[in-house]
Amino acid sequence: MKREEAYQEIIQLRRELEEHNYRYYVLAQPTISDFEFDMKLRNLEELEKEFPEYADSHSPTQRVGSDISKAFEQVAHRYPMLSLSNTYSEGELRDFDNRVRKLIGQDYTYVCELKFDGSSISLLYEQGKLRRAVTRGDGVKGDDVTVNIRTIRSIPLVLRGHDYPEVFEIRGEILLPFRVFEELNMEREESGELLFANPRNAAAGTLKMLNPAVVASRKLDACFYSVMGDRLPSDGHFETLNKAAEWGFKISREMQLCQNLDMVFNYIRKWDQERHKLPVATDGVVIKVDSRRLQEELGYTAKSPRWAVAFKFKAESATTVLRSVSYQVGRTGAVTPVANFDPVLIAGTVVKRASLHNADFIKNLDLHLNDTVFVEKGGEIIPKITAVETGKRHPMAQPVVFIEKCPECGTPLVRKEGEAVHYCPDDSGCPPQIRGEMEHFVNRRAMDIDGLGAETIELLYTRGLAKGIADLYLLEKDQLAALERMGEKSAQRILEGLEASKSVPFERVLFALGIRYVGETVARKLAKVVHSIENLAQKTKEELMEIDEVGERIAESIVEYFSRPEHLEMIRFLKSKGLQFQLSEEQSGNRTDKLKGLSILISGTFKNHTREELKELIERHGGKNATSVSKKTNYLLAGENMGPIKLEKADKLGIAIISEEEFVRMITE
């Protein structure tokens, strides 16, 4: 390759890798596989090695990808959290073993561990108590997410026994089990939110949430793989981890000592087949030299340890033929293209359909009908088309073109600037949207109307008894009893459920309305701030964006919802039937404007209140919870163990620092 060609290739690869780094670590929305990323990175490394005159300290080859968020305090790692070198073949693994053998020149033992596909975390324990939890970040520093980590039940807050070191760190992966992942995506689909691509993305996104109560509801899990400190119980990594299990940590039962490389290969082959039986995602095997003394002797490169390597499983893939593309309309009007292909066996199950996500995804694949396509299971759960074998394409094959009109009602589709999804805007006349809205309205987490499930809603709609949410409150017993498989008892139960729904609190009613992007958490937040549906309907986009956790997209969706006369008419009808569209007296009691217009940031731990209780008090008295130190912050409510960075920045900006006692006086005097 010529020098100029090499330079252009290097620049292009750097741009691509930085973009993929951002999508993977910051947005948790990767657009290429780990294998593709590693191949691009390896290509860049080889080019930079061949043309050292183009070396750049800012190149992706010189850094560890970052997941740092400005919403959290950054903390430096005592021991850098480096990435592992990846291998994809037995030959590459033999090369690793030869390098180890050459460097240490003596016998050694490996430890093989499953490489769980989650979000990396480092926990600091002092005197047997959890003191701090920090994300991987850029490997040098990460985000302090201690308050969120405390909600994970598999992580001990206080250790068992008494033989643990006085101070040590333990590192592992925060995981989202497959079962919980599926439930979470179902909930997101119901509230019109983008689905998580895989459990790893969901775990990473959850760790960065600002509301620990929501984090707790996600049922995250954890598994630990490394203990670091000065006075560990053993030189053996395997023995130390088993000791950590006695202290209360969740350690992988699948970990195994291997005396030679053949045992390592047997372990890899076994779990390449059996990983599909596990409750969490795995993407490979980590092979480590067991002795800590030998690990120190082998040392590190700039990015990774020389004593460990990751063998990455290839995602199980198969080829099949695309036969057609159909389009599904969801509750919020989002139109999702679905590929229909010849049935194929992948990861133990037969699949014949896969989501194509959106028009851009189809365009990037350059998809044509009757194409031979490669299908994988993303995160071992969701089938996806990853590539097209264009060499087998018939010259007359027709390209897949995204539809322009709703397949259900014929309304022209819309696509908002900056969004990837096409929507059908006719939510009052599009059958699947209407049925979806009713199903969402009656579900357990919303109005919880007993007896009304998806099948009954479908029946009511097709029989013309309920053409929308309001019609549910016009149903009569004899109409219901006349339906198939219904009867008088079932009809009575539905009517009692509808009557009971009139006492459901405002925040759940607001969630039940199905406003796009307004999930349970946002609905609760809005209800506490606006107090009534009338107040919410009158707020401008700018006023809504001042509410904690409400961004531009949510604000625009709320304003658009209340601009529709049919929505206002439905709310007026539901209100006349007795549904709750304002906070109860008990909920709205003890509210004042004493903190109106004030932005207050909470940092540290407190004697008499939890951080969530303090946030609630700030909102109850008209204030706003700040997420970071800025010129707009009026007060820093400081507790014990608060971060020095926040303190320094607040002092620099001249922000008043108040104690817990001073804050209480502000709202009580």
pLDDT score of 188 more than 80: no
Q: Tell me the per-residue pLDDT of 205-241, one tens digit each, with 9 for 90 and over.
A: 888 887 787 788 888 999 999 999 988 999 999 999 9
Rounded to whole angstroms, the Cα distance separating 166 from 151 reads: 24
Residue 63 has a pLDDT of: 53
- The whole-number pLDDT of residue 393 equals 93
For residue 21, the model assigns a pLDDT of 66
Which has the higher per-residue pLDDT, 322 or 612? 322
- In terms of average pLDDT, the best of 201-205, 444-448, 511-515, 523-527 is 511-515
Contact at 8 Å (CB) between 224 and 171? yes
Architecture of 317-392 per CATH? Answer: Beta Barrel (2.40)
Q: What is d(CA 615, CA 251) in angstroms, rounded to the nearest whole number?
A: 35
- Give the mean pLDDT of 338-356: 86
Is the pLDDT at 645 greater than 80? The verdict is: no
Is-same-fold flag (3-62; 74-312)? no
The tokens for 177 are 């089990």
pLDDT of residue 451: 85
Mean pLDDT of the chain: 87
CATH number of 74-312: 3.30.470.30
Q: How far apart are CA 553 and CA 559, in angstroms?
A: 10
Two tokens, residue 74: 């950054």
CA 5 remoteness from chain centre: 39
Q: Which of 155, 148, 135, 171 is nearest to 218 (CA)?
A: 148
From the CA atom positions of the chain, what is the Rg in Å?
28
How much is the pLDDT for 67? 56
Average pLDDT of span 162-189: 88
Residue with tokens 């409510």: 637
Confidence of residue 64 (pLDDT cuts 50, 70, 90): very low
Which architecture, in CATH terms, is 431-586? Answer: Orthogonal Bundle (1.10)
Give the pLDDT confidence of 605-617 residue by residue, as tens digits. Answer: 788 887 767 887 8
Contacts of 653 (CB under 8 A, 6+ apart): 629, 630, 631, 633
Q: Provide the residue type at 274 as one letter.
A: E
CB atoms within 10 A of CB 568: 14
Give Dmax over CA atoms of the chain in angstroms: 87
Which of 141, 158, 148 is CA-nearest to residue 206?
148
DSSP string, 448-510: --TT--HHHHHHHHHTTS-SSGGGGGG--HHHHHTSTTTHHHHHHHHHHHHHHGGGS-HHHHH
Identify the DSSP state of 344.
Answer: E
Going from N- to C-terminal start, the domains of the chain cover 3-62, 74-312, 317-392, 431-586, 599-668
| Paired tokens of 538 | 């009158």
More confident position, 420 or 406: 406
Share of the chain above pLDDT 70, in %: 93
**What mean pLDDT comes out for the span 485-508?**
91
In whole angstroms, how far apart are CA 30 and each of 21, 129, 194, 474, 524? Answer: 8, 35, 13, 47, 30
Catalytic residues: 115
User: Per DSSP, what are the bridge partners of residue 336?
Assistant: 328
Please enumerate in sequence order all residues whose Cβ is within 8 A of that of 116, keeping only pairs 6 or more positions apart, or say none: 173, 175, 223, 252, 280, 281, 282
Topology classification of domain 599-668: Rossmann fold (3.40.50)
pLDDT tens readout for residues 142-151: 999 998 998 8
Q: Does position 379 have pLDDT exceeding 60, yes or no?
A: no
**Three-class SS of 485-499:** CCHHHHHHHHHHHHH
Contact 434, 428 (CB under 8 A): yes
Among the ranges given (113-127, 367-381, 484-498), the one the predictor scored with the smallest mean pLDDT: 367-381
CATH number of the domain at 3-62, please? 1.10.287.610
pLDDT attached to residue 251: 94
The pair of structure tokens assigned to 609 is: 């209140």
Of 586, 331, 617, nearest to 446 (Cα)?
331
Render the burial of 617-647: b for 16+ CB within 10 Å, e for the rest: bbbbbbbbbbbebeeebbbbbbbeebbeebb
pLDDT band at 26 (very low <50, low <70, confident <90, very high): very low
Contact (CB, 8 A) for 231 and 105: no
Residue scoring higher pLDDT (167 or 640): 167
Q: Which of 234-248, 258-272, 296-310, 638-652 has the lowest mean pLDDT?
A: 638-652
| pLDDT at site 615 | 81
DSSP string, 172-227: EEEE--HHHHHHHHHHHHHTTPPPPSSHHHHHHHHHT-S-HHHHHHTT-EEEEEEE
Tell me what percent of the residues of the chain surpass a pLDDT of 90: 49
pLDDT digits (tens, 9 = 90+) for 451-474: 888 889 999 999 999 999 999 999
pLDDT value of residue 347 = 67
What per-residue confidence (pLDDT) applies to 276?
80
Which of 212-216, 490-494, 596-600 has the weakest average pLDDT? 212-216
- Region 581-600 average pLDDT: 80
